């Protein structure tokens, strides 16, 4: 391919590996499809067709001024599915990518999808309000994320990478090179999309979308996730999706696709071929 054109003329970079029953991967903020590298390679080597793409505004995809909302993201996903011809697919979303999965299931009726996965996902609803007391205060997103990004995005992402992977004062579950790679991927994103996506993943309430999950759904989340706390996300999503199986990774941070790479890869292989 490696690019497809969306309905509003945005180029999306698509990686399409292997053959067999498709597995479609949507990535987290502020990264791109390369963040799925270990799992994508293993799935393709196991006989799956793996489709992973860079969200608009990130990686090698176009950087339009607008369209950084979940209706648009789910429409982009629908374009990827249609133009790649993927059918009977397993759809897996990481972090903010879980929102695309949820909105695709409701807005597009889950067309072509036979299984779904939410990994360290923002679904069901992150923002704290009267209906969501376990959520995250609005000030975190405005004052601790968006404001520092505007001031010095590179310094912010260097610090955020440590939080993402659960780096502490004494020990680190990842190498310095992994942290640097995170910074490089984050640097590829356009500033408008980076900022707008904070609003999208923090303010979008996916609870109304949960009833649309009518396929087997795997939910995996780390109990020590400081980026997306487990209570308003995975536990709430599991309670609202009738077909969900929730697996909690004790002590794992947000970036468990790296810190628990082998375990997550094995879980996804089992889920995709079951």
* Catalytic residue list: 95, 225, 254
DSSP state of 2: -
Distance, CA of 205 to CA of 13 (rounded, Å): 28
Give 136's Cβ-side CA count (13 Å radius).
25
Cβ proximity of 205 and 125 under 8 Å = yes
Alpha helices in the chain (DSSP H): 37-45, 70-84, 97-107, 138-141, 147-164, 176-187, 191-203, 236-240, 256-259, 261-273
Element (H, E) at 222: strand 217-222
Distance CA 97, CA 198 (A): 12
How many whole angstroms separate alpha carbon 56 and alpha carbon 64?
7
Backbone phi and psi for residue 51, each to the nearest 5 degrees, phi listed first: -115, 120
As a dihedral over the C-alpha atoms of residue 264, residue 268, residue 270, residue 274, rounded to 10 degrees, the angle is: 160
Beta-bridged to residue 49, according to DSSP, are 22
Q: How far apart are CA 243 and CA 257, in angstroms?
A: 23
């Amino acid at each position: 391919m490696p690019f497809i054109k969306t309905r509003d003329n945005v180029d999306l970079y698509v990686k399409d590996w292997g053959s067999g029953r498709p597995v479609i991967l949507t990535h987290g903020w502020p990264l791109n499809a390369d963040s799925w590298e270990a799992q994508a390679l293993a799935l393709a080597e196991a006989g799956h067709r793996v489709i992973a793409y860079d969200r608009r505004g990130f990686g090698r995809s176009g950087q339009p001024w607008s369209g950084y909302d979940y209706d648009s993201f789910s429409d982009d996903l629908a374009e990827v599915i249609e133009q790649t011809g993927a059918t009977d697919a397993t759809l897996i979303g990481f972090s903010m990518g879980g929102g695309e999965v949820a909105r695709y299931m409701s807005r597009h009726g889950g067309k072509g999808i036979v299984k779904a996965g939410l990994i360290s996902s923002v679904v069901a609803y992150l923002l704290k309000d009267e209906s969501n007391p376990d959520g995250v205060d609005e000030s975190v997103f405005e004052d601790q994320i968006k404001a520092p990004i505007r001031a010095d995005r590179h310094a912010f992402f260097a610090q955020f990478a440590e939080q993402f992977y659960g780096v502490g004062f004494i020990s680190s579950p990842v190498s310095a090179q992994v942290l640097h790679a995170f910074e490089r991927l984050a640097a590829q994103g356009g500033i408008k999309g980076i900022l707008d996506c904070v609003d999208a993943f923090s303010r979008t309430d996916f609870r109304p979308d949960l009833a649309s999950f009518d396929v087997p759904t795997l939910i995996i989340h780390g109990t020590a996730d400081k980026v997306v706390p487990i209570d308003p996300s995975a536990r709430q999503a599991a309670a609202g999706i009738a077909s969900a199986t929730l697996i909690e990774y004790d002590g794992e941070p947000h970036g468990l696709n790296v810190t628990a790479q082998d375990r997550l890869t094995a879980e996804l292989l089992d889920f995709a071929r079951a």
